[in-house]
A and B are shown apart, each in its own frame.
Chain A
Amino acid sequence: MSDPDISTSATMDPAQPGGETTTRRMVLNMGPQHPSTHGVLRILLELDGETITKAEPDIGFLHTGIEKQAEALNWQQVVTLTDRMDYLANLSNNLAYALPVEKLLQIEIPDKAQWLRVLLVELTRINSHLVWLGTHALDLGAMTVFFYCFREREDLLRIFEMFSGQRLMTSYIRIGGLALEPPRGWQQVVKKFNDALPSNIDEYEELLNTNPIFLNRVKGVGVLPLEKLLALSVTGPLIRAAGLKWDIRKSEPYSSYEKFDFDVPVYQESDVWARYRVRMEEMRQSQRIVKQALEGMPEGPWKADAPKVVLPDREKMKTQMEALIYHFKIVTEGFRVPAGEAFVPTESPRGEIGFFVVSDGTSKPLRVFMRTPSFGNLQALPALFEGNLVANSIAALGSLDFMLGDVDR
């Protein structure tokens, strides 16, 4: 495949008028089609007419060496790098990083912080699915859905800004709790968004579920059996659309997910249509979780009682010598993490995200391995493409819902 041949796929032999048609394989670069393929993902397609005979994704264009950089920063600073991996699910990444480090430090996170984490991560899931839905529909020719989705996404970004001061690179979930005290009046803002969400989701579904063009392009397209998906390390909504009820929030609960009541949507068809329905249903379930978190939010501190790890309150720092010393130590050299290693899998909007952190007892990580969902999911791309038509590959590509920042890191 290294030598692209861009001649026509079928040539008639001029010596024999009306004679046999000889076909030749053609190698082409696909794209830019999906928003993720503008310069950051290259897919080499080998075509036989309109059918893809071989697909080879070429990744690494967005590789910024995040795992290498993490070894040069102290433990708390690495949180900022995790935002930059999957830039649509920042808070899920923050949480996925904080959990194994807290496991090594063996610090107890107070209930309120855990519930707020769940609430924010579920809002992130809605945010990520909204962007996926908008761009996926746009790929398939339904433009209006994009505007509707981004209308709600704007509200969500305002909520994130309200909490953290940032719309995208939130870094709000930190080792030991949260970065800042939740802002005054956040409940009303989140409630207003959350109450309106079910009718908004109905609106998107009305635009798509009755749209024959959309239905024709997603039903029965991009089918892969469950065994193949599992063997290829695919996770998340893709697995649930293939009939396996596996959600890490249920099977290995973290951050008090066991206290929430929600369903795991499962469909059997394993096509683009099933993946669409799984994600739509997940948004509804996230809405339910946010509602429960709002109603049952416990009182108490929003960060752990671990003075060697968590920065002290501003007033304490200015009035108490001990707090000032801890503040100075944490800011200048960071905190030390006991030697050891930990891996905590969590469920991000795209699938299984888990950080494997290794400490040698110093204030910087020895190794941070980021098991990101998009990297695993993108491995299924050749299997999804090969043997299918080029036109269907657009729908199949969108249904993978990968984020190149998450793939390349």
Chain B
Amino acid sequence: MLPELLQSLPVPAALEAWDPQAIVDGSLELGETLLWVAPEKIVALCRELRDNLEFERICGVTAIDRYPLEPRFEVVYFLHSISRNLRLKLKVALPGADPAVQSVTAIWAGADWYEREAFDLFGIRFEGHPNLKRIMMPEGWEGHPLRRDFPTHGHKYSYQNE
């Protein structure tokens, strides 16, 4: 459900009218609009945003690890409409065990590397991604470095352990 505060804004209101089930929650903090989206609706919602609400580009995709809380991962999408000079953040909550969400690369080709990065560093699978493989870490690396339970120092690859 869309909170009261966001119902007066044109984009969240239009999305709410398009599919009342898609938006789970939302907030407006420090002037930034954030919408929590149901994971299974993310692709359809993004298509609606691009086709009918002029969000021409995706500025980035990343994740936040809330370990040890559940749901552990938040995938964050930064969307931008240049013609409306408007920015929008979308979030999807994913569980710690086998986190996976549909890829939005079919909508914005620019999401490609950002999703690969989130896959590499957080271990979140983006289903339907054309080339989902590690981008930063070497092939065969074990673990996902940006997870909160991956140590900054002293992991098995550390030069100090050699």
Contacts and interface: CB of A to CB of B under 8 A. Distances in A.
B108 A231 contact: yes
17 contacts: A59-B136, A65-B145, A65-B152, A67-B121, A69-B152, A231-B109, A231-B110, A233-B111, A251-B82, A251-B85, A340-B29, A340-B30, A341-B32, A345-B59, A366-B64, A367-B65, A378-B113
Given A60-B135, A67-B146, A367-B65, A233 B60 contact: yes
Contacts, number: 91
A376 B110 contact: yes
The 8 closest A-B pairs by CB, nearest first: A233-B110, A369-B62, A371-B60, A63-B136, A60-B136, A72-B152, A232-B110, A231-B109
Contacts of A340: 29-30
Interface stretch (A141-149, A350-358, A384-392): A350-358
A329 interface: no
Given A230-B56, A233-B110, A408-B136, A68 B30 contact: no
Q: Point out which of B56, B59, B76, B112 has the most chain A C-beta atoms below 10 A from its C-beta.
A: B59
Contacts of B58: 233
B146 A68 contact: yes
Contacts of A59: 135-136
B87 A345 contact: yes
B103 to A, nearest CB: 15
A63 to B, nearest CB: 4
Interface string A176-217: 000000000000000000000000000000000000000000
B82 A246 contact: yes
A313 B56 CA distance: 47
B1 to A, nearest CB: 22
B138 interface: yes
Contacts of A356: 60, 62, 76, 78
Given A65-B145, A343-B89, A356-B62, 16 more contacts: A69-B152, A71-B148, A71-B152, A231-B108, A232-B109, A233-B59, A234-B110, A252-B85, A340-B29, A343-B78, A343-B87, A352-B59, A366-B64, A369-B60, A371-B60, A375-B113
> Chain A binding site: helix, strand, loop or mixed by DSSP?
mixed
Interface in B31-64: 32, 56-60, 62, 64
Contact of B82 (A244, A343, A378, A408): A244
A103 interface: yes
Nearest to A360: B66
B68 to A, nearest CB: 13
A379 interface: yes
B14 to A, nearest CB: 21
Contacts of B62: 356, 367, 369
A389 B87 CA distance: 38
A369 B114 CA distance: 11
Interface string B149-162: 01010000000000
A68 B59 contact: no
A104 interface: yes
Nearest to A408: B136
Interface in B124-146: 134-138, 145-146
Contacts of A231: 56-57, 108-110
A289 to B, nearest CB: 21
Contacts of A369: 60, 62, 76
Interface string A225-245: 000001111100000000010
Q: Point out which of B64, B136, B148, B152 has the most chain A C-beta atoms below 10 A from its C-beta.
A: B136
Nearest to A69: B152
A320 B146 CA distance: 42
Given A72-B152, A104-B30, A232-B110, A371 B136 contact: no
Q: Point out which of A72, A231, A252, A358 has the most chain B C-beta atoms below 10 A from its C-beta.
A: A231
Interface string A68-86: 1101100000000000000
A37 to B, nearest CB: 17
Contacts of A69: 152
